[in-house]
Chains A and B, each alone.
Chain A
Amino acid sequence: QQPVQSPQAVILREGEDAVINCSSSKALYSVHWYRQKHGEAPVFLMILLKGGEQKGHEKISASFNEKKQQSSLYLTASQLSYSGTYFCGTENKLDNNDMRFGAGTRLTVKP
C-alpha cells in the first residue's frame, strides 16, 4: 500500500519554511525520507523508526507519529539547494518490511 503525501507541490521563497506530510493506512515500522533532483537518483535524508522520534539533517527535520501512522518533514529557512522532489518511503510489518514510496512532493525554492 503506497503512502499518501501532501502537498503534491509547493513553491517557496528562499528563507521560508515548509512542511511535507506522509501518511499510511497501515501500521508503520519505519519512515524514510529521500530527495531527488531532476534527472538524478534519490538521495537518502533520514530514517525514523517507530517510537515517535524526531531527527534532523541540517535545517531539515522530521517527526514520526506511530499512532497516527504519519510522518512530517520540516524544512526550515529553505535554501535554493532544497529544490527537488521529496519522497517518503514506508515499511510496515504486513508488507514484510518492503518499502513503498509516496508519489512525491515537488518543492521549488525561488530566490
Chain B
Amino acid sequence: DAGVIQSPRHEVTEMGQEVTLRCKPISGHDYLFWYRQTMMRGLELLIYFNNNVPIDDSGMPEDRFSAKMPNASFSTLKIQPSEPRDSAVYFCASSLVGSYEQYFGPGTRLTVT
C-alpha cells in the first residue's frame, strides 16, 4: 500500500484566500484524523471521522475551518478565509478499528502570508 497520501505537500497563499487540503487514507481503514502541528501549540487533533461520519470536531479552531469525507477514500480540510496564524503543518492519519495505531501522511506545510 502507498500509505496515507496528502496533497499538496506545500501551499503558500495570501491571507483571505481559500485553502483546500486533501487526504487519501489507507485503503480499508475506518478512521481518518486531521491534525495541525505548530511550534507553539504542538500536535493538535482537529477532527476525526469514522466510516466517513464526523465523530468529533471540537478541535476545529473556528468556523473558518471545515472538513468533509464524501467517501472512504477521500477527505478534505478547507480553510476559508485563511489567516497568517493558520500557518502550520497539517497531517492526515488513518487507522483500522480496534488497531489503535495511526498511520500519518507526510503532511501539508501551509504558509499564509
Contacts and interface: CB of A to CB of B under 8 A. Distances in A.
Interface of A: 2, 30, 32, 40-44, 47, 87, 96, 98-104
Given A98-B48, A104-B42, A41 B104 contact: yes
B43 A41 contact: no
A47 B91 CA distance: 20
Nearest to B101: A44
Given A41-B91, A41-B104, A43-B104, A102 B42 contact: yes
Interface size class of B (residues with CB under 8 A): 10 to 19
B45 interface: yes
Contacts, number: 40
Given A101-B43, A103-B42, A41 B56 contact: no
A27 to B, nearest CB: 18
Contacts of B56: 96, 98
Contact of B101 (A47, A87, A104): A47
Contacts of A30: 100
A51 to B, nearest CB: 14
B103 interface: yes
